[in-house]
């Protein structure tokens, strides 16, 4: 029961975040075997998102091991609280303060890619556009009336909705292609975060299939040996 409650507590904020339109989604096309992408996504998440959003069902040391990052680098460059490497990855803003500032506490994002899908998340990160009527000056094509600022605007620039529905950004430190890669990296990291064991399961699956194949050959040869004298 306790585990069920923990899972529900993680899912509800993700589903709240997901409320939005049914616009066509962009393909994220992430590769969890690309450790460099996972590392870049983790760094971008820590620098731009982790101040408000936690991934509290992960531990720093497990993440470092899975994405191929040295523990010392994790500790020295990417841990911005007094947490230890074996601690859960919680954010630095008290929930009460965050609720006062944003109207609602920013949800934990450990399972957001698993609940909504990688394409939704990637499209969301690429769906911000300037809207002066909104409290933070931005809206989102995937999540209309979004209640958070565009935290990656410094990277992308100011995104402006065009007459044809496309979004063009200017003034960012990244080119459009670089920004798309950055959001793809963040999406890959959060996809990994939602199910850290998925790559291990896939590797184990190949070993199991290999064992069954060898076992089948041995069983077939054994069957032939037993039945060779039966007429």
Per-residue pLDDT tens digits for 157-215: 999 999 999 999 999 999 999 999 999 999 999 999 999 988 777 767 777 788 788 88
Q: Which of 7, 1, 5, 4 is nearest to 195 (CA)?
A: 7
pLDDT of amino acid 197: 86
104 and 126 inside one domain: yes
Per residue in 112-126, pLDDT tens?
A: 999 999 999 999 999
d(CA 208, CA 41): 31
Q: Which helix (H) or strand (E) holds 88?
A: strand 88-89
d(CA 210, CA 24): 40
For residue 111, the 8-state DSSP code is: T
Confidence of residue 156 (pLDDT cuts 50, 70, 90): very high
124 and 221 inside one domain: no
223 and 175 inside one domain: no
Residue 100 sits in a domain of what CATH number? 1.10.760.10
142 and 187 inside one domain: yes
**What is the bridge-based pairing of β-strands 138-140 and 167-171?**
unpaired
Q: Are 41 and 186 within 8 A, CB to CB?
A: yes
132 and 218 inside one domain: no
Which residues have C-beta within 8 Å of that of residue 185, sequence separation ≥ 6? 37, 38, 40, 41, 44
34 and 93 inside one domain: yes
Per residue in 123-150, pLDDT tens?
A: 999 999 999 999 999 999 999 999 889 9
91 and 37 inside one domain: yes
> What is the tally of structural domains in the chain?
2
143 and 229 inside one domain: no
Rounded to 5 degrees, φ, ψ at 127 are -105, 5
21 and 101 inside one domain: yes
pLDDT of amino acid 217: 87
d(CA 20, CA 27): 18
Q: Which of 13, 56, 16, 92 is nearest to 193 (CA)?
A: 56
166 and 209 inside one domain: no
208 and 156 inside one domain: no
Residue span of the structural domain in which 58 resides: 2-196
114 and 208 inside one domain: no
């Amino acid at each position: 029961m306790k585990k069920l409650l923990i899972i529900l507590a993680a899912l509800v904020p993700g589903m709240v975040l997901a409320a939005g339109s049914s616009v066509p989604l962009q393909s994220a096309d992430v590769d969890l075997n690309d450790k460099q992408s996972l590392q870049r996504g983790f760094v971008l998440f820590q620098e731009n998102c982790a101040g408000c959003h936690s991934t509290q069902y992960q531990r720093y040391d497990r993440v470092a091991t899975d994405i191929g990052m040295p523990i010392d680098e994790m500790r020295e460059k990417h841990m911005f609280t007094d947490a230890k490497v074996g601690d859960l990855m919680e954010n630095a803003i008290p929930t009460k303060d965050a609720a006062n500032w944003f109207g609602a506490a920013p949800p934990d994002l450990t399972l957001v890619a698993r609940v909504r899908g990688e394409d939704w998340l990637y499209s969301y990160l690429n769906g911000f556009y300037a809207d002066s009527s909104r409290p933070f000056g931005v809206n989102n094509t995937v999540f209309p009336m979004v209640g958070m600022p565009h935290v990656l605007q410094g990277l992308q620039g100011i995104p402006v909705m065009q007459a044809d529905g496309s979004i063009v950004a200017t003034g960012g430190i990244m080119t459009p292609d670089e920004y798309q890669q950055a959001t793809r990296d963040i999406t890959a990291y959060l996809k990994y975060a939602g199910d850290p064991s998925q790559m291990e399961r896939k590797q184990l699956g190949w070993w199991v299939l290999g064992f069954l194949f060898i076992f089948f050959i041995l069983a077939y040869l054994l069957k032939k040996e037993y039945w060779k004298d039966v007429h």
